[in-house]
Amino acid sequence: VLIHDGARPFIDKELCITIMDHVKPNLGVIPVVPISDALKKIEIVEGEERVSSTSREHLYTTQTPQCFPRLQLLEALDTDKDLLFKDEAEAWIALGKKIVTIPGARRNMKITYQEDFILAHQIASNNREYRVGNGFDIHPLVPSRPLILGGVEIESPLGLDGHSDADVLAHAVMDALLGAAGLPDIGKLFPASDPQYKNISSLDLLSRVASLLKEGRWDILWVDVTLQAQLPRLGSFTKQMEENLGERLFAFEMESEKINIKVKSGERIGAVGRAECMKCTAVATLSRWRR
Mean of all residue pLDDT scores within the chain: 93
| Averaged pLDDT for residues 128-139 | 96
How far is the C-alpha of 209 from the C-alpha of 84, rounded, in Å?
Answer: 53
User: How much is the pLDDT for 253?
Assistant: 56
For position 24, what pLDDT does the model report?
87
3 strand-pairing partners: 66
The one-letter code for the residue type at 102 is: I
pLDDT of 252 over the 60 cut? no
Q: Is 89 exposed, middle or buried (0-12, 13-18, 19+ CB in 10 A)?
A: buried
* DSSP 8-state class, residue 24: B
Three-class HEC string of 111-147: CCCCCHHHHHHHHHHCCEEEEEEEEEEEEEEEECCCE
The Cα 64–Cα 119 span in angstroms is 19
Amino acid code (one letter) for 258: K
Same-fold call for 2-125 versus 129-289: no
**Phi and psi at residue 188, to the nearest 5°:** -90, -35
pLDDT of 80 > 80? The answer is: no
Listed by start position, the domains of the chain span 2-125, 129-289
The larger pLDDT score, comparing residue 96 to residue 271, is at 271
d(CA 162, CA 142): 10
pLDDT of residue 199: 96
Q: How far is the C-alpha of 282 from the C-alpha of 291, rounded, in Å?
A: 28
Read off the pLDDT of residues 146-159 as tens digits, 9 standing for 90 and up: 999 999 999 999 99
- The matching CATH number, chosen from 3.40.50.720, 2.102.10.10, 3.10.20.340, 3.30.1330.50, for 129-289 is 3.30.1330.50
Q: Which class does domain 2-125 fall in?
A: alpha beta
User: 152, 286, 143: which is closest to 227 by C-alpha?
Assistant: 152
SS (H, E, C) 49-85: EEEEEECCCCCEEECCCEECCHHHHHHHHHCCCCCCC
- Cβ partners under 8 Å of residue 130, min gap 6: 221, 285, 286, 287
pLDDT of residue 38: 94
27-34 vs 98-103, strand pairing mode: parallel
pLDDT grade for 290, boundaries at 50, 70 and 90: confident
What is the DSSP-derived secondary structure letter of residue 231?
S
- pLDDT at residue 23 in the model: 86
pLDDT at 105 over 60: yes
3-state SS, residue 103: strand
Which is more confidently placed, 53 or 81? 53
**pLDDT, tens only, 204-246:** 999 999 999 999 999 999 999 999 999 999 999 999 999 999 9
Q: What are the pLDDT digits (tens) for 15-53?
A: 999 999 998 888 999 999 999 999 999 999 999 999 999
Q: Give yes or no for residue 82 having a pLDDT over 90.
A: no
Q: Given its phi and psi angles, is residue 48 left (phi above 0), alpha (psi -120 to 50 degrees) or beta?
A: beta
Beta strands 259-264; 219-228: pairing state: parallel
Residues 105 and 20: their CA atoms lie apart, in Å, by 16
Among 27, 29, 50, 51, which Cα is nearest to 40's? Answer: 51
Query: If you average pLDDT over residues 172-189, what whole number do you get?
Result: 98
